[in-house]
Structure 1
Amino acid sequence: MIELQCSLIEAQKLLQHQATHDPLTGILNRRAIMEALSKEWARFTRTKNNFTLGFVDIDHFKKINDLFGHSIGDDTLKEICESFTSSLREYDVFGRYGGEEFLIISPQTTLPDHLSIYERKREEIAKKSIHKENRTHPLSVSIGVASSHEASSLDELVSLADTRLYAAKESGRNAVVYT
């Protein structure tokens, strides 16, 4: 009977993990990252403790898949995710928003405090490239950053970070935009 209960508990844990994590990268999936963002917004409206939201996109990801195949594209996604998760604070939250887009929720931060972290990560990734056979392709990310105090709603905050991500891409990619 105890073995059965232990098996059920383990099965529940596995199901919970599968329901909240991206199977390829192991990071939070869209539903879970949006739930975490909603909770952080609720905390902000209650306490006024600021947080930043980073919207990250892997530059030219379709080209990576087209040139090197989806297996290399998957490896690239995993490598980028590992790069971010290894450098975030314990209470920062990182998740896959969709495709090659990710969100970073950084509680109790302001834009000046956290911009150097985004910029360092962008520079670190820009030093990497994909090599296969006789082909090489540089890696880079574009990041749009917004602060909770700049928005009057969660939707406005996400839209602001997304608009800044678009501005980073329009400026030539491989950039962090925060204004």
Structure 2
Amino acid sequence: MDARRAWQQWTDWVLTTDPAQRLRLSMAGLAALLMVACMLVMNGVAWAGLTARTPVLVWSVLCSTGLVVVYVAIRSGWSQRCADPSLTLPQIVYAMACNAVAYTIAGPARGVTLPILAVILMFGIFGLSTRQMLGVLVYGLVAFGTALGVVAWRHEAGHEPALEIAHAAMIVVVLLSGTFLTTRVQATRQHLRRQKHELTLALEQILRLATRDALTGLFNRRHMLELLERELGRTARPPRSIVLAQLDIDHFKAINDQHGHAAGDKALQTFADVVSASVRQSDVLARWGGEEFVLLLCDTPLGEAQQLLERVRTAVAQAAPRDAGDGVAFTVSIGAAVHTPGEAAERTLERADRALYAAKAAGRNRVVLCPGSAAESATTAAPPPA
């Protein structure tokens, strides 16, 4: 257990505890391990007498310095100010430069550097954009073109022009292949991102269809019942004052009969807009069915709820359906009930519905609170017509 804790502490110090940083440093560490393996191969070539040891040792020091600089830049957080905090492009550019230099100093064994080039490009496939990879292609052609020119200029012992031409052809093939694969991978990633975006939009649309009324944009009956069950279940922890109100547009059938169903739809939309603008942000309005709506008032004392519902009634009476033509107007009757802790939502709605029927029977265009106690017996009626 102590060994595991010590290992965890050590890895946390080396890679940090930030998940994003750990991923960046892990990828940089994998690249460093591959570079170290390449350095071991080059030093093995030198110790075998195929090339001079001093240039290889100097080259190894320069490669190691680059690895340390990259680690420090990422580990310190400095790289996070860059567009790519992983420093993928700088790492590839530096590694390709080291690889091109290795080609010039490897002597007869310079062919071993070609697989290293393929490994370097492999890191660019998933970390670079197509434009960046095209830049790497041009950079690679220039770097290795220079390396090939240096080798040809020095006329080393055992230099075979045909072999150098073969190496040049393989370098071009590797660079082109890496660029092509990067282009295909980027195209696939863009396609997947587009599919993900379209799927997200489709899911949002499905969720909206499942929870919203298509005409008014309000919550539908099924979703409102779910909200009621969830909200009313919290009334006892701690006790909260919750009022449920049933709202019904007066003489709505006459609007449809006299002005057409299009006017009726606009009346419903106007009603939803007016009521939504008259209540608080914490209140929830839903279309219950037809011209009936349900309003949930949370943390609302009875007197405050009565004032709010009267404000809604007045606003509806003063509104006119948008684009519905002259002569179209309507009022609303409202029945409300205070929820009793432990009472089922359906029971509270039944009491609010009885209050709504009482408002209708009393002449419509009024607010009635469900009679159940002296406090709930108040009725607010519209002013009599002049």
- 2:227 is aligned to 36
Counterpart of 1:74, as a letter, is D
In 1, Cα distance between equivalents of 2:283 and 2:209: 21
Asked which structure has the greater RCO (Cα within 8 Å, sep 6+), the reply is 1
In structure 2, C-alpha distance between the alignment counterparts of 1:15 and 1:48, rounded to whole Å:
35
Counterpart amino acid of residue 304 in structure 2? D
**Percent same amino acid at aligned positions?**
36
CA displacement at 1:164 relative to structure 2: 0.2
Distance in 1 between residues matched to 2:220 and 2:236, nearest whole Å = 24
Superposition deviation, residue 151 in structure 1: 7.5
Secondary structure of 1:55's aligned partner:
strand
**Native 8 Å contact 2:215 2:265 kept in 1:** yes
Within 1, Cα distance between the matches of 2:363 and 2:329?
14
Counterpart CA distance in 2 for 1:109 and 1:22 is: 26
User: Is the contact between residue 147 and residue 157 of structure 1 (CA under 8 Å) also seen in structure 2?
Assistant: yes
Task: Specify the SS of the correspondent of 1:44.
Answer: coil
Q: What amino acid does structure 2 have at the position aligned with 1:114?
A: A
- Secondary structure of residue in 2 paired with 1:176: strand
Alpha-carbon spacing, 1:5–1:53, altered in 2? closer, same or farther (3 Å): same
Query: What is aligned with 2:332?
Result: 141
State the secondary structure of the residue aligned to 1:159: helix
Would you say 1:175 and 2:366 are equivalent positions? yes
1:162 pairs with 2:162: no
Larger-Rg structure = 2
Task: For 2:207 and 2:220, locate their aligned partners in 1 and report how far apart those are by CA, in whole Å.
Answer: 12
The 5 A counterparts of 1:94-173 are 94-129=285-320, 132=325, 136-149=327-340, 152-173=343-364
The structure richer in helix per residue is 2
1:46 positional shift: 3.5
Q: Secondary structure at the match of 1:109?
A: coil
Q: Is the 8 A contact 1:143 1:176 kept in 2?
A: yes
Partner SS for 2:286: strand
More strand by share: 1
Unaligned runs of 5+ in 1: none
Deviation larger for 143-152 or 84-93: 143-152
What aligned pairs does 1:10-49 form with structure 2 within 5 A after superposition? Answer: 10-49=201-240
1:94-141, Cα deviation, whole Å (9 max, x unpaired):
0000000000101101211111111011112222456746xx254100
Change (3 A) 1:47 1:30: same
Give me the TM-score of the superposition, normalised by structure 1: 0.92
Contact 2:250–2:364, Cα closer than 8 Å, also in 1: yes
* More moved, 121-130 vs 153-162: 121-130
Q: 1:137 to 1:13 in 2, by over 3 A?
A: closer
The reply on whether 1:71 has 2:280 as its aligned counterpart is no
Q: 1:4 to 1:113 in 2, by over 3 A?
A: same
CA contact (8 A) 1:168 1:177 kept: yes
Give 1:89 shift.
1.4
Between the aligned partners of 1:9 and 1:137, the Cα distance in structure 2 is 41
Deviates more, 1:87-96 or 1:61-70: 87-96
**What TM-score, normalized by structure 2, do the two folds share?**
0.44
Q: Contact 1:151 / 1:157 at 8 angstroms: preserved in 2?
A: no
Comparing 37-46 and 68-77, the one that deviates more: 37-46
Q: Mind listing any 5+ residue stretches in structure 2 that lack a counterpart?
A: 1-191, 370-376, 378-386
Q: Do residues 58 (structure 1) and 288 (structure 2) align?
A: no
State the Cα deviation string for residues 54-109 of structure 1 (Å, max 9, x = none). 10000000011000000000000000000011122112110000000000101101
2:271 maps to amino acid: I
Measured after TM superposition, the shift of residue 150 of structure 1 is 8.0
Given that 2:239 and 2:341 are in contact with CA atoms closer than 8 Å, whether structure 1 keeps it comes out as no
Give the Å deviation of 1:155: 2.0
Q: Which residue of 1 aligns with 2:116?
A: none
Q: Which amino acid aligns with 1:71?
A: A
The 2-side partners of 1:154 and 1:121 are apart by 23
